Structure 1
């Protein structure tokens, strides 16, 4: 079972359906309606932290859940706000983006590893965000797995755990290889 944390965002349900299409049983919990101990007690294969409005500090249990996943070596995928929560939980700084993106398609350049395995190095993805991870504050436990052409961080990966974050939306219809990225994540946790 995969536990999907809903940060009060309609894209949560797109992720839910994508994961279901990939044969996963998924349980959804709102970020402020359940405790972390209860979630861990359900013994999920992995957590997915959804997109959402605001910043990591207003995302309910998301930041503390990232820390717990790191400490307990539980696989985790963070999307958009979930991606930012990963960096923030490990003492990274989240800052205003130079440009605001709402439904904009941009080219993403990846390291072709982890969730980007067997996906072209460059592909188009849809972005919906006004915040980004500050490069100079990137935590030592993370490395950049994807960027835009301009160099903005679009993906991070934990150095020792199966923890991946992506700033863009794999569940958006205009993102190329979205199902494949989620399938790759599921392949990492088998």
Structure 2
């Protein structure tokens, strides 16, 4: 993993402390990743190194750069992940700009939490206060078995950390809802023509069912490989949260 962040992977801390214990184990620096090159745009969040840890266990070559970094060119990578973070899309540094660049170049992208809100807002949706505050709470998620949910049973349990949500009625036609919660909030979206995907919940949480599989599907998309191989890629990951 390459990063411009002075935080170490152990006990990483962002501006907003996470409710879930971190206990993040750093990746083996001796490893030589042969998988896809992934740019992780860090929205100053304490979850980012957990996500990176899982991606690297699955063979990804990750570069972590904060959302205000001067060089966030997605064309240098096989895929881009927009991390969770505090605030809203307008305070997420260059995240909107990076997503727009992914759309323009066809670079596969996965947005997580704030990343979903940024994707939706870029294409014209409204982000507002969520119907319910969800900080470290689990709920049932119903999905369409498309996008990063391909190969997973529905419903599944997911862990949510958000006080903002996309207003469903404002979602543009170019984006489809791929998952939703019992309270009606959008929990997954994807562009109908471009490889842009996002989830509102946290796939890296130990309480999210199928989270590793979702990250593996994203890596398969970044490689241009069949998503059916994602289950094999996600199998046997060691836990990074304890």
TM-score, normalising length from structure 2?
0.75
Q: What is the aligned counterpart of 2:153 among 88, 98, 120?
A: 120
Three-state SS of the structure 1 residue aligned to 2:99 is helix
Instruction: Look up the match of 1:66.
Output: 99
CA-based RMSD:
1.0
Q: 2:198 aligns with which of 165, 169, 178?
A: 165
> Equivalent residue for 2:74?
40
Q: SS where residue 139 of structure 1 aligns?
A: coil
Using the TM superposition, give the Cα deviation of residue 87 of structure 1 relative to its aligned residue in structure 2, in angstroms. Answer: 0.4
Q: Which runs of 5 or more residues in structure 2 are unaligned? A: 1-36, 225-242
Q: Distance in 1 between matches of 2:205 and 2:180?
A: 18
Corresponding residue number in structure 1 for 2:162:
129
Q: Which has the larger radius of gyration?
A: 2
What is the aligned partner in structure 2 of residue 25 from structure 1? 61
Higher strand share: 1
How far off is 1:34 after superposition?
2.3
The count of residues paired between Structure 1 and Structure 2 equals: 187
Cα distance in 1, alignment partners of residues 105 and 126 from structure 2:
23
1:6 positional shift: 0.2
Gaps of 5+ in 1: none
* CA distance in structure 1 between the partners assigned to 2:116 and 2:74 by the alignment: 20
Q: How does the TM-score come out when normalised to structure 1?
A: 0.95
Question: Which residue number corresponds to residue 221 of structure 2?
Answer: 188
Matched, 1:16 2:52: yes
CA distance in 2: counterparts of 1:93 and 1:85, whole angstroms: 10
Return the alpha-carbon distance in structure 2 between the equivalents of residues 3 and 18 of structure 1. Answer: 14
CA shift, 1:140, in A, is 1.9
| Structure 1 runs (4+) greater than 4 angstroms displaced | none
1:149 aligns with 2:182: yes
Q: Supply the distance in 2 between the matched residues of 1:129 and 1:188 (Cα, whole angstroms).
A: 26
